[in-house]
Amino acid sequence: AGWIYAVFYFLIYVLSLPGGIIADRTQKYKGTIMSGLILMAAGYGILSVPVFAETPGFSWVLVLTCIALFIIAFGNGLFKGNLQVLVGQMYDNFEAEAAKQGPQALAEAKDKRDSGFQIFYVFINVGGLIAPFVAPLLRSWWLETNGMVYNAQLPALCHEFINNAAGMSAQALENLNTMIAAAGGNIADMAASCQNYLQIFNEGIHYSFIASVAAMCISLVIFF
C-alpha cells in the first residue's frame, strides 16, 4: 500500500511534464485540460465500482485499482499544469493590451496578474478542503443505510478474525464482540457478521468516489 501510494503521488507530479508537452505540441491547451478532467472522472468512476477482494494478496482488484490510479494521475498531468498556463496566458493578453496604453497601465495590469493567481490558487484548493468531509459522510451514510455504524478499528479486527480466529487474544475477541454488537452485527455468527461488515464498509469507501466523479463533471461544465 505504501509503494502504491508513493508511486501514485510521484506520477501525479511527473506526468505534468508529458501533459505540458502534449499541450505545447498541439497548441490545444483548453482541449488538453478538458481531456484531463474527463480522464480523472473516468479513473474515479472505476474506483467507485464496489468490488471486493475475496482472497488476500495479489488479485485483479488490485490491478484494476492501480489502473484507475494511473488514469487519475495521467488526467491530472493533462489538467493541472496546463490550467496554470491558461491563467497566465489570459494575463499575457491583458498586459499586451495595457502596454499599448503606457507604462502606468502596464504596471496596473501586472498587479492584477498576482491577484488573479491568488484567486486561482484559493479556489483550486477549495475541493481539497471539502473532500475530507464529504467522502467520510458518504461512507457513513452507506453503513447507516445497511443498519451499521462506522468504526475505524473494526475492519482490522474483522480481517484478523476471518484469517486467524484461533490465534486472537481474549481481549481482541472481547473488543470484536463489543464493536460488532455496537455496529449492528450479530455476534452469534461472528464470521458472517465480519464478512458482511467488511463488504458494506468496502462498498461505502467505493461509493465515496462518486463525489469525485460529480466534482469532475461540474468542473468540466464550468470550464467549458
The tens digit of pLDDT for each residue in 10-61 reads: 999 999 999 999 999 998 888 999 999 999 999 999 998 887 766 665 678 8
Q: Are 69 and 8 in contact (CB under 8 A)?
A: yes
| More confidently predicted of 87 and 17 | 17
CB 200 within 8 A of CB 140: no
Secondary structure letter of residue 50 according to DSSP: -
Residue with cell string 494478496: 57
What confidence category does residue 172 fall into, taking pLDDT thresholds of 50, 70 and 90?
A: confident
> Cα–Cα distance between 76 and 163 in angstroms, integer?
38
> Contact, 190 vs 180, CB < 8 A?
yes
Give the distance from CA 113 to its chain's centroid.
30
Mean pLDDT for 154-167 is 84
* Residue (of 82, 63, 93, 72) closest to 24 by Cα position: 82
Phi (first) and psi of residue 126, to 5 degrees: -60, -40
Q: What is the pLDDT of residue 58?
A: 63
Please give the angle made by the CA atoms of 150, 152 and 156, to the nearest 5 degrees: 120
Predicted local confidence at residue 85, as pLDDT: 87
Cα–Cα distance for residue pair 209/46, rounded to 1 Å: 9
Structure confidence by residue, pLDDT tens digits, 101-150: 888 888 888 888 888 888 888 888 887 788 778 888 888 888 888 888 88
Q: What is the mean pLDDT of residues 73-100?
A: 88
From the list 89, 88, 2, 33, the residue with the least C-alpha distance to 224 is 33
- Find out whether 76 and 42 touch, Cβ atoms under 8 Å: no
The three cell numbers locating residue 175: 473488543
Q: Which three cell numbers stand for residue 141?
A: 451514510
If you average pLDDT over every residue of the chain, what do you get?
Answer: 86
Over residues 71-78, mean pLDDT: 94
Q: Would you place residue 164 in the very low, low, confident or very high pLDDT band (cuts 50, 70, 90)?
A: confident
